[in-house]
Chain A
């Protein structure tokens, strides 16, 4: 959307901000700090299993990432296939890993390849069985009920034996992704969508659409009954119910930001992650060079939710959310803790830590008249108040720096103009931190259009209130 055509309460751009637990307040996103572990190859997947953080790399390795400060991550084993972003599913207390090769099992200590199991891209559990799909055929295969190690369909099967079902046999390409929705399993083929309705043996298959082409096997999430997916050409899409009984249909999701997603869509690298404890899902449309992801805050509505941009020092490959207080993210070759313990990103030279850089921009106000900006007040709080930095929160009107905010002020006077620290202590005396404060600015500024931009390289902050007094002047038409 062009910046003049959005609403007053919308932003035309918002980078590295997020919503605080106080609903609706914008704050700087958490930093990722120093890596918990770094690997010789880029990370392809993250999983939280039995209080362990697991990471996979593009060279087909599964590692255990320590959370105790030990940065040497032990190797657990080799995946059956490299160069693939694996899919994880917990079933019966074990973790099952699909990596485009034969299905594997991890019990918390050892990784084993299940003999007789099929190749798997996507693995999910449903109705007492483990199911998997594989790009290259039309079948979804299910294990025996309760036995994820038994996959061979006998000559005369019972209802509890392994099963296999063809979805859209020979039509619209082979299966790319599968996601269990509420009552159905949604099956994405190369350019079509099917529903697998009911449970075995009362399965029925219904075609949903032949116009949709999901990008890859990591591009769909089920969010409270809705299914979101990334289409190769159309960007973010939504499967939702229609007025007809038990019908679902694909529709455009987030029309205001979809252009941003489409412009970056990449067939191989795009991804969607659902972070239910935070009420967001994250869109990563990026190719292997993009460093931006888009968190979508669905608690504010399914179709018109706020979507922001998080920008990282390197490419994001996976996110995992063990609970509300923890969040781990794979950036480049490293795994990082984004739970909020750090205000810094390794964005400097050679990965030096720097405060997270954030910015956002309001609607562009434009019309026949000019605008006279008279005053601005901002109520904001420092999130990590004891950071002493010379960087200010800078508020621009168009390109004019209107307001610079410091969250701490060094009130101490230099004694006899002596600027040297006493006994090597460089903490200022009487340093005053502002946890939450009003910052008012009163200066006249006449502009033909008005667009306010916040930029911050300093103390992470939370914005409570922002008011600007503007009067239209000089009607020229």
Chain B
């Protein structure tokens, strides 16, 4: 279950990027980079077909597509037309499973990171990479760590 807040991540991030005094990076910048890291991680997990990214919803013809909709899981008698779902069943509800992204609408230090704690390090590492990159540090190390963490995440590896 998601349990960590962005503030928890911010404390670790400020230690890793060497800004414990909060003089170089603003809270807003860190929140934005943590949000970017969350959205990036959700795309990675969807690409790996990690089952935790699957969301189930009942839809009717012309129901609005949820904001977090990424793509359908498998094949259904449903399809997407721009902002709406279409079905051939009209007003009869159909249960649809789709890949859902996470990290939308994160805007405050008190927001909860929408991932289990197991992904905390990947999110922190990705955010650190963004922050260090803006100050032109060499981020090769962070990239390596992030790739390793991604390859260890659940779901299919790129090779399988």
- Chain A residues near B (Cβ < 8 Å): 372, 374, 400-402, 442-446, 473-474
Contacts and interface: CB of A to CB of B under 8 A. Distances in A.
B136 A445 contact: no
Given A372-B135, A402-B21, A444-B135, 10 more contacts: A372-B136, A443-B18, A443-B19, A443-B21, A443-B24, A444-B18, A444-B19, A446-B24, A473-B135, A473-B136
Contacts of A402: 21, 23
A370 to B, nearest CB: 9
Q: Tell me if A's interface is mostly helix, strand, loop or mixed.
A: strand
Contacts of A473: 135-136
B18 A446 contact: no
Contacts of B80: none
Contacts of B21: 402, 443
B20 interface: yes
Contacts of B24: 443-446
Q: Tell me if B's interface is mostly helix, strand, loop or mixed.
A: loop
Contacts of A443: 18-21, 23-24
A402 B23 CA distance: 8
Interface residues of B, number: 9
A402 B18 CA distance: 13
Interface of B: 17-21, 23-24, 135-136
Task: Give the residue among B17, B18, B23 with the most A Cβ atoms within 10 A.
Answer: B23
Contacts of A445: 19, 23-24
Nearest to A373: B24
Contacts of B23: 400-402, 443, 445
Contacts of A446: 24, 135
Nearest to A443: B21
A156 B135 CA distance: 90
A474 B136 contact: yes
Contacts of A474: 136
A344 to B, nearest CB: 31
22 contacts: A372-B135, A372-B136, A374-B18, A401-B23, A402-B21, A402-B23, A442-B18, A443-B19, A443-B20, A443-B23, A443-B24, A444-B17, A444-B19, A444-B24, A444-B135, A445-B19, A445-B23, A445-B24, A446-B135, A473-B135, A473-B136, A474-B136
